[in-house]
């Protein structure tokens, strides 16, 4: 373990959402790096099989599994006790705006209030998402990086998850300004790996039994789960990055067309219909208009902002991640996709 | 302009706000939630002027005409009382209150104050339900209802809900005396209550935990319920199930001459004639009548869709509009208070019986264990 990290291997590290797809990989990554004092916060209903199988490989590590609900301030107080670093991955993936908001923003507020009260916190890593960005004012093919604007019209995009994550990021930044919270925000792109059952929506959507390929030749901001977890871990321990935002994408990003072809060939075969961006954008505009005219008879699920966010097509960079966190993707796209497609084939 | 406020800014509050903003002659002036962040998110998303974390403060600073109470059921009585005492009409989400006596108190308080109240039994105001009500009122059944069958199913397969409910032993639903049932069955019970004539029906209830829940280690939540109701004039069966498929939301109502079947999910109302055709014609002809009715229903639904009159929450919008109309025009409320009382009374009886069944079951198990040891 390099000596310049802000915490040593005996400091207590809390991981919320530690049993999730990314969370369990973060736990494994921390253990691999030698962090031997972890507290894994899980939902009471969680199936802990995956997490427990990881922990079995590190019998010497002191890992506490704490079941609770971040909506409970009492549970948050228990969770943050003595912690030096918090990796906050627990997220509210719900369809409704209030549900998503409550399980992302209210939970984060509870956690932050509790954490700041301990006086021991040296880093709070807020795991956000690419979904918070807006490419509305960026041209097709331009670079979308950490300097780009976040969504300013989340309600028009009608995406509860993006709205909640946006508000969660704002809350964390506010605590940074107001209370000096030593935070880092990480925004993973489309995380994939064994465990991801479907293709990212950036490739297309499966609806009414048909897969519409909407990504065309767009670059897909993929990040393999282990690479992503490693970037998240580094965000919690590297010095001098407080208040920074990092996008997480791998090297060798494939195009949507390539990814779909590989998926069908090596994972699961299915029929797809290609719909050019301009046509889909027009359909989204019509849907949006109809939704408004009909007073919500059809919800504005398809709309121009959402269409642009997912299928307009931009380029992505991991420059900042490499420069500031010293991150390198440990698993190449060739290897990562091989593992992923094997999983897809198995479940198919 | 009717000034509206919402207390409780969770998931259901969103649905209320979405309907209210499309109604003329009213405006949401404030929202309130004990969790300030939740109040603020609703305020910001719907462009509402004020948000509060304290209901009393809201009443004083932005006195509304109507308050929608969308808090957890345990608080309906207290919040409803507070609003009525502050001079506001109330629209209370279902279940109206925790029990009959609370319901009665709120109704009396409203009457004393010259205010109106209603409960969010919006499923009774869908297109099909409204059509059924009209046919029954016009005498289609050929007399008072003889028997009813109400199905209200709940698909626990919805991972978000099941996860929240099963995963959190502190979930507010678990703290309701009637558990999951208390939060859901009033939709199905109120449909029966609407057509019952007596005020104190005899109720026989049987509830149990489904095999599916037992297989995941859940033993406390009763998610299957069968009820027989008899008011001396008419009888009814009520079925609540999380497991049966199709997951029905349906009311069958039979009179002395004819019957009606209302399928809430498909928005279809089918008429059944009581008389029979002669001989084999009974096996050849009625099917054509049903085919015609289903075809007409499909076309009718499409027509409403084209006219943008088929919103998924049409019933809620209709009920809110009618309730506001009753306030502004001093007209009768859309849901008679007798029906609210009767629904509460039937639910009380169901939960009392389920509770005694549970006690009986536990003591039987204890006895069996003692004998065994």
**Does some domain include residue B356?**
no
In the predicted structure, residue B165 carries a pLDDT above the cut 80: no
- Put simply, the answer to whether B163 touches A297 (Cβ < 8 Å) is no
Mean pLDDT of B323-327: 98
Reported residue count of chain A is 348
Distance from the B163 Cα atom to the nearest Cα atom in chain A, whole angstroms: 7
Nearest to B76 by CA among B28, B36, B31, B117: B117
Cβ contacts of A293 within 8 Å, gap of 6 or more: B308
Dihedral sign for Cα A88, A92, A98, A102, please.
negative
Q: Which of B14, B22, B310 sits opposite A98 (nearest CB)?
A: B14
Reported residue count of chain B is 373
| Contact indicator for B224, B233 with CB cutoff of 8 Å | no
Confidence of residue A320 (pLDDT cuts 50, 70, 90): very high
Tokens in use for A158?
A: 């009608």
Cβ contacts of A70 within 8 Å, gap of 6 or more: A16, A41, A76, A79, A90, A103, A107, A108, A110, A111
Residue A197: what pLDDT?
Answer: 86
Residues B205 and B95 in one domain: no
In the predicted structure, residue B63 carries a pLDDT above the cut 60: yes
In the predicted structure, residue A209 carries a pLDDT above the cut 90: no
Q: Which of B38, B45, B166 sits opposite A106 (nearest CB)?
A: B38
Residues B113 and B197 in one domain: no
**Does some domain include residue B11?**
yes
Residues B113 and B130 in one domain: no
Distance (Å) of CA A260 to CA A341, B178, B357 = 11, 50, 56
Q: Does A296 touch chain B (CB under 8 A)?
A: yes
Residues B145 and B268 in one domain: yes
Q: Does B357 touch chain A (CB under 8 A)?
A: no
CATH of the domain at B217: 3.30.360.10
- Put simply, the answer to whether B10 touches A95 (Cβ < 8 Å) is no
Mean pLDDT of A190-200: 94
Q: Please tell me whether residue B43 adopts helix, strand or coil conformation.
A: helix
Best of A106, A163, A297 to mutate (most B CBs within 10 Å, chain B): A297
Q: Does B163 touch chain A (CB under 8 A)?
A: yes
Domain boundary among B65, B100, B119: B119
pTM value is: 0.93
Residue B158, by phi and psi: left (phi above 0), alpha (psi -120 to 50) or beta? Answer: beta
In the predicted structure, residue B318 carries a pLDDT above the cut 60: yes
Interface A-B, measured as beta-carbon pairs within 8 A, has a size of 60
Residues B28 and B140 in one domain: no
Q: Does A101 touch chain B (CB under 8 A)?
A: yes
CATH of the domain at B95: 3.40.50.720
Q: Which of B41, B308, B312 sits opposite A98 (nearest CB)?
A: B41
DSSP B149-208: EEEEE--TT-HHHHHHHHH-TT-TTTTSTTHHHHHHTHHHHHHHHHH---SS-EEEEEEE
Q: Does A69 touch chain B (CB under 8 A)?
A: yes
Residues B180 and B320 in one domain: yes
Residue B212: what pLDDT?
Answer: 84
Residues B36 and B161 in one domain: no
pLDDT 10s digits, B82-124: 999 999 999 999 999 999 999 999 999 999 999 999 999 999 9
B 16-45 residues with CB below 8 A of A?
18, 22, 35, 37-38, 41-42, 45
In the predicted structure, residue A254 carries a pLDDT above the cut 90: yes
- Put simply, the answer to whether B167 touches A105 (Cβ < 8 Å) is no
Residues B287 and B175 in one domain: yes
The pLDDT > 70 percentage for chain A reads 99
Distance from the B320 Cα atom to the nearest Cα atom in chain A, whole angstroms: 16
In the predicted structure, residue B360 carries a pLDDT above the cut 80: no
Domain boundary among B87, B119, B151: B119
Nearest to A109 by CA among A164, A166, A172: A172
Residue B357: what pLDDT?
Answer: 83
Residues B70 and B158 in one domain: no
Mean pLDDT of B275-296: 96
Q: Does A155 touch chain B (CB under 8 A)?
A: yes
Mean pLDDT of B296-306: 97
**What helix, strand, coil percent values describe chain B, rounded to 5?**
45, 20, 35
| Contact indicator for B238, B231 with CB cutoff of 8 Å | no
Name the one residue in this structure whose structure tokens are 């969308």. Answer: B70
Domain boundary among B92, B119, B146: B119
Residues in chain B closer than 8 A to A197 (CB atoms): none
Residues B109 and B224 in one domain: no
In the predicted structure, residue B159 carries a pLDDT above the cut 60: no
Confidence of residue B168 (pLDDT cuts 50, 70, 90): low
Secondary structure element (H or E) that encloses residue A85, with its range: strand A83-88
**Does some domain include residue B338?**
no
Q: Which of B38, B170, B305 sits opposite A69 (nearest CB)?
A: B170
In the predicted structure, residue A289 carries a pLDDT above the cut 80: yes
Q: What is the CA radius of gyration of chain B?
A: 22
Residue B164: what pLDDT?
Answer: 58
Mean pLDDT over each residue of chain A, to the nearest integer: 95
Q: Alpha helices, DSSP H only, in B47-126?
A: 55-61, 76-85, 100-113
First-residue to last-residue Cα distance in chain B: 72
Residues B279 and B236 in one domain: yes
DSSP B334: S
Mean pLDDT of A191-205: 94
What is the domain extent for residue B319?
124-328
Residues B56 and B194 in one domain: no
Q: Alpha helices, DSSP H only, in B197-328?
A: 211-215, 281-284, 286-306, 314-328
**Does some domain include residue B349?**
no
The Cα–Cα gap between B241 and B244 comes to: 6
Q: Which of A45, A105, A295 sits opposite B311 (nearest CB)?
A: A295
**Does some domain include residue B355?**
no
DSSP A184-198: EEEEE-EEESTT--S
Residue A55: what pLDDT?
Answer: 96
Q: Which of A43, A106, A297 sits opposite B310 (nearest CB)?
A: A297
- How many distinct structural domains can be found in chain B? 2
Name the one residue in this structure whose structure tokens are 């006596």. Answer: B101
The Cα–Cα gap between A108 and A116 comes to: 12
**Does some domain include residue B363?**
no
**Does some domain include residue B333?**
no
Interface predicted TM-score (ipTM) over 0.95? no
Residues in chain A closer than 8 A to B312 (CB atoms): 297
**Does some domain include residue B15?**
yes
Q: Which of A46, A95, A98 sits opposite B38 (nearest CB)?
A: A98
Residue A196 main-chain phi, psi, to 5 deg: -85, 120
Tokens in use for B18?
A: 């979405």
| Contact indicator for A165, A157 with CB cutoff of 8 Å | no
Confidence of residue B178 (pLDDT cuts 50, 70, 90): confident
Distance from the A296 Cα atom to the nearest Cα atom in chain B, whole angstroms: 7
The pLDDT > 70 percentage for chain B reads 92
């Amino acid at each position: 373990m390099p000596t310049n990290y802000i915490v040593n291997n005996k400091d207590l590290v809390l991981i919320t959402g530690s049993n999730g797809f990314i969370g369990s990989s973060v736990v494994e990554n921390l253990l691999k790096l030698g962090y031997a004092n972890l507290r894994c916060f899980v939902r009471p209903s969680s199936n802990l099989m995956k997490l427990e199988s990881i922990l079995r490989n590190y019998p010497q590590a002191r890992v506490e599994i704490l079941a609770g609900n971040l909506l409970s301030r009492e549970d948050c107080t228990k969770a943050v006790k003595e912690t030096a670093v918090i990796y906050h991955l627990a997220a509210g993936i719900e369809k409704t705006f209030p549900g998503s908001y409550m399980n992302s923003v209210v939970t984060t507020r509870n956690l932050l209030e509790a954490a700041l009260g301990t006086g021991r916190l040296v880093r709070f890593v807020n795991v956000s998402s690419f979904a918070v960005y807006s490419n509305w004012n960026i041209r097709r093919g331009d670079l979308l990086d950490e300097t780009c604007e976040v969504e300013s019209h989340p309600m028009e995009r009608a995406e509860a998850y993006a709205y909640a994550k946006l508000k969660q990021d704002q809350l964390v930044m506010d605590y940074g300004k107001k209370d000096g919270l030593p935070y880092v925000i990480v925004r993973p792109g489309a995380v994939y790996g064994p465990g991801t059952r479907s293709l990212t929506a950036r490739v297309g959507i499966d609806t009414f039994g048909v897969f519409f390929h909407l990504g065309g030749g767009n670059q897909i901001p993929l990040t393999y789960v282990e690479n992503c977890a490693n970037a998240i871990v580094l965000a919690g321990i590297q010095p001098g990055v407080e208040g920074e935002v990092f996008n997480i994408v791998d090297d060798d990003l494939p195009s949507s067309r390539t990814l779909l072809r590989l998926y069908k060939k090596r994972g699961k075969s299915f029929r797809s219909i290609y719909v050019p961006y301009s046509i889909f954008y027009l359909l989204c505009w019509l849907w949006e208009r109809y939704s408004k005219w009909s007073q919500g008879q059809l919800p504005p699920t398809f709309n121009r902002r959402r269409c642009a966010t997912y299928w307009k097509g931009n380029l992505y960079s991991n420059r900042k991640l490499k420069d500031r966190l010293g991150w390198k993707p440990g698993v190449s796209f060739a290897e990562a996709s091989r593992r992923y497609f094997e999983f897809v084939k198995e479940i198919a | 302009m009717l000034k509206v406020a919402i207390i409780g800014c969770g998931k259901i509050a969103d649905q209320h706000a979405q309907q209210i903003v499309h109604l003329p002659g009213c405006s949401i002036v404030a929202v309130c939630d004990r969790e300030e962040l939740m109040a603020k998110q609703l305020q910001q998303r719907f462009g509402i002027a004020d948000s509060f974390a304290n209901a009393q403060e809201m009443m004083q600073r932005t006195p509304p005409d109507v308050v929608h109470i969308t808090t957890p059921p345990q608080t309906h009585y207290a919040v409803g009382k507070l609003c009525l005492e502050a001079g506001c009409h109330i629209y209370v989400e279902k279940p109206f209150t925790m029990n009959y006596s609370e319901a009665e108190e709120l109704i009396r308080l409203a009457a004393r104050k010259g205010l109106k109240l209603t409960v969010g039994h919006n499923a009774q105001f869908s297109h099909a339900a409204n059509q059924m009500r009209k046919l029954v009122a016009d005498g289609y059944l050929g007399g008072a209802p003889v028997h009813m069958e109400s199905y209200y199913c709940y698909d626990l397969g919805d991972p978000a809900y099941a996860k929240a409910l099963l995963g959190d032993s502190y979930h507010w639903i678990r703290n309701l005396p009637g558990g999951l049932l208390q939060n859901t069955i009033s939709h199905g019970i109120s449909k029966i209550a609407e057509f019952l004539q007596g005020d104190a029906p005899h109720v026989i209830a049987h509830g149990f935990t489904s095999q599916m829940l037992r297989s995941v280690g859940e033993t406390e939540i009763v998610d299957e319920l069968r009820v027989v109701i008899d008011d001396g004039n008419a009888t009814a069966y009520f079925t609540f199930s999380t497991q049966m498929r199709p997951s029905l939301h349906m009311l069958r109502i039979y009179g002395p001459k004819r019957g009606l079947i209302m399928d809430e999910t498909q928005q279809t109302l089918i008429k059944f004639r009581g008389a029979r055709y002669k001989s084999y014609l009974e096996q050849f002809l009625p099917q054509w009548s049903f085919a015609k009715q289903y075809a007409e229903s499909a076309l009718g639904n499409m027509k409403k869709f084209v006219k943008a009159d088929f919103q998924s929450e049409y019933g809620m919008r209709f009920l809110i509009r009618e309730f506001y109309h009753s306030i502004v025009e001093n007209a009768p409320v859309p849901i008679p208070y007798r029906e609210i009382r009767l629904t509460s009374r039937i639910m009380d009886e169901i939960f009392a019986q389920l509770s005694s069944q549970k006690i009986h079951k536990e003591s039987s198990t204890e006895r069996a264990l003692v004998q065994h040891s």
